[in-house]
Chains A and B, each alone.
Chain A
Amino acid sequence: MLALRVIPCLDVKDGRVVKGVNFLELRDAGDPVEQARLYDREGADEVTFLDIGASHEGRDTILDVVARTAAQVFIPLTVGGGVRSVEDMRRLLLAGADKISVNSSAVADPALVTRGAEAFGSQAIVVAVDARGDGKGGWEVFTHGGRRGTGIDAIDWCRQAEARGAGEILLTSMDRDGTRAGFDLALLRAVRAAVRLPLVASGGVGEASHFVDGARAGATGLLAASVFHYGQMRIAEAKAALDGAGLPVRPMAEAG
């Protein structure tokens, strides 16, 4: 049985870990490489770095963070934030990333997904979708860290990402992000019904039972940042909740 993936996300700016509440308030809290190693030892199934500063400034610091992490952590590493071109993807992959997530740049230029998949394989290309409820029962795609509406229907965009060669969808509810109220399960179900791709749920985890809810709504990966980062929940608690609900997990004993 394929195990549900528990994925801690580290928001990184200028080579340091940060975590914003609803993406706007930032607090500096540590070395991403050390954090990634800790998560690996604690049983994380993957680690995701989101370079939050990347849309606004140079991004060479993340290459160093990725290279140092990949030398010590032998689980999949996804990196996103400010990736605008196949060349950006190549640099991150060569530094040691396994998957590259694209968000705003893919919305602006959907063919970037195809070019990335053709150059590196679909398995390396994650389309990150930031979605916010439109008040009419649907969801709109937001970009630029959730600051900019696009008018694009999130479900349609996920379908398009799949058709263009994405290997995975990272779906963040902007309504839930930072609230600790749980994943947006209706959004997850809607995307699960629309695409066959692996689906990582993000935004809103506050307690371990939320991982179970997300898995039952169709997510194959479950991502959280602040609850892990601030130590309010351990990876093991998330896995214990999934295991207790009869869902398959990779046991802690196999951690790095």
Chain B
Amino acid sequence: MKIAIVDPGSGNLASVLRALERVVAESGRPAEVAVTTEAADVRAADRIVLPGQGAFAACRRGLDALPGMVAALQSSVIDSKKPFLGICVGMQLMAQRGLEHGVTPGLGWIEGEIAPMDPRDAAGAALPLPQMGWNGLDLAQPTHPLLAGIEPGQHAYFVHSYALADGRAGQLLASTDYGGAVAAIVGRDNVAGTQFHVEKSSRVGLRILANFLAWTP
């Protein structure tokens, strides 16, 4: 199995690579994991992971700057139905558009747009922003294969100031509570995305990555 980690040029992919290498090693099934900026590697891969950090618009520009990459993603993920996992801004890029630094089109694989958060507590006081830290997962689709072995309330590591808005209920796999429900995992068909950093979410995150590698949507 070949797993391609697409580098949109936004920063540190070492953590995603190391986490996937760990999960592959623990799975006992051989797999090649590699970070790439080449469209050909995405076309040749069996599974595709798109991490992303920083701003939505910058990540989209980074993807667009890789020759043939967006077309390769559309072809591999939508036409060939390869399992796809977006992480953090990589998950956000799956939406129809992002509203960070102007309106930027997303990949359009998930309904909704990525809008600024303004979380408030029950008394209306502003909660810290970005949401940074470990928050519990409320499982909307607990029987989804990506959530195998994940218990309701287990924590994942979030860092974000923007979140999916106007999403469709059926595509929400899990949410978290930060002044109201926030999309934590989305998915449909062969695509999924985690708003949190699955590679930094300790055992919970590694389990979700292992589930992704075993996923046969």
The size of the chain B interface, using a CB distance under 8 A, is 40
**How near does chain B come to A222, taking the closest CB pair, in angstroms?**
11
Whether A75 and B130, one on each chain, are in contact in the complex, defined by CB atoms closer than 8 angstroms, is no
Cα A129 to Cα B126 with chains together (Å): 23
Whether B11 and A221, one on each chain, are in contact in the complex, defined by CB atoms closer than 8 angstroms, is no
Cα A130 to Cα B130 with chains together (Å): 22
Partner of B133, one of A5, A122, A255: A5
Whether A121 and B10, one on each chain, are in contact in the complex, defined by CB atoms closer than 8 angstroms, is yes
Q: Is the interface of A mostly helix, strand, loop or mixed?
A: loop
Cα A143 to Cα B124 with chains together (Å): 37
Whether A221 and B54, one on each chain, are in contact in the complex, defined by CB atoms closer than 8 angstroms, is no
B169 within 8 A of A: no
Whether A1 and B133, one on each chain, are in contact in the complex, defined by CB atoms closer than 8 angstroms, is no
Given A3-B135, A167-B132, does the pair A121, B202 have CB atoms closer than 8 Å? no
A254 within 8 A of B: yes
Whether B177 and A1, one on each chain, are in contact in the complex, defined by CB atoms closer than 8 angstroms, is yes
0/1 string, B142-182, CB within 8 A of A gives 1 = 00000000000011011111000000000000000110000
**How near does chain A come to B70, taking the closest CB pair, in angstroms?**
21
Cα A119 to Cα B53 with chains together (Å): 10
Whether A198 and B202, one on each chain, are in contact in the complex, defined by CB atoms closer than 8 angstroms, is no
Whether B128 and A98, one on each chain, are in contact in the complex, defined by CB atoms closer than 8 angstroms, is no
Whether B133 and A199, one on each chain, are in contact in the complex, defined by CB atoms closer than 8 angstroms, is no
B61 within 8 A of A: no
A70 within 8 A of B: yes
Whether A5 and B134, one on each chain, are in contact in the complex, defined by CB atoms closer than 8 angstroms, is yes
Measured between beta carbons, the chain A residues less than 8 angstroms from B136 are 1, 3
B188 within 8 A of A: no
Measured between beta carbons, the chain A residues less than 8 angstroms from B155 are 3, 250-251, 254
0/1 string, B183-208, CB within 8 A of A gives 1 = 00000000000000101111111100
Cα A1 to Cα B121 with chains together (Å): 10
A220 within 8 A of B: yes
A236 within 8 A of B: no
| Surface stretch bound by B, among A18-26, A89-97, A177-185 | A89-97
| Surface stretch bound by A, among B12-20, B37-45, B77-85, B103-111 | B12-20
* Contacting residues of chain A (95-150) with chain B, CB-CB under 8 angstroms: 95-98, 119-124
The size of the chain A interface, using a CB distance under 8 A, is 38
Cα A255 to Cα B131 with chains together (Å): 21
Measured CB to CB, the nearest residue on chain B to A71 is B18
**How near does chain A come to B20, taking the closest CB pair, in angstroms?**
11
A45 within 8 A of B: yes
Measured between beta carbons, the chain A residues less than 8 angstroms from B131 are 2
Cα A5 to Cα B134 with chains together (Å): 8
Given A2-B134, A2-B178, A74-B19, does the pair A256, B203 have CB atoms closer than 8 Å? yes
Whether A2 and B133, one on each chain, are in contact in the complex, defined by CB atoms closer than 8 angstroms, is yes
B129 within 8 A of A: yes
Whether A1 and B54, one on each chain, are in contact in the complex, defined by CB atoms closer than 8 angstroms, is no
Given A2-B133, A74-B22, A121-B10, does the pair A199, B54 have CB atoms closer than 8 Å? no
A11 within 8 A of B: no
Cα A124 to Cα B22 with chains together (Å): 23
Cα A1 to Cα B178 with chains together (Å): 6
Mark A residues whose CB is within 8 Å of B: 1-5, 40, 45, 67, 70-71, 74-76, 93-98, 119-124, 167-168, 196-199, 220-221, 250-251, 254-256
Known interface pairs A45-B133, A98-B200; 12 further A-B residue pairs with C-beta atoms within 8 A, sorted by A's residue number: A74-B19, A74-B202, A75-B200, A93-B11, A95-B14, A96-B12, A97-B12, A121-B53, A168-B132, A220-B132, A220-B133, A254-B155
Pick 5 A–B contacts, CB within 8 A, sort by A: A45-B133, A74-B22, A76-B200, A196-B129, A221-B133
- Nearest first, the 8 closest Cβ-Cβ pairs linking A and B are A121-B54, A198-B132, A93-B12, A123-B159, A250-B134, A250-B155, A256-B202, A3-B134
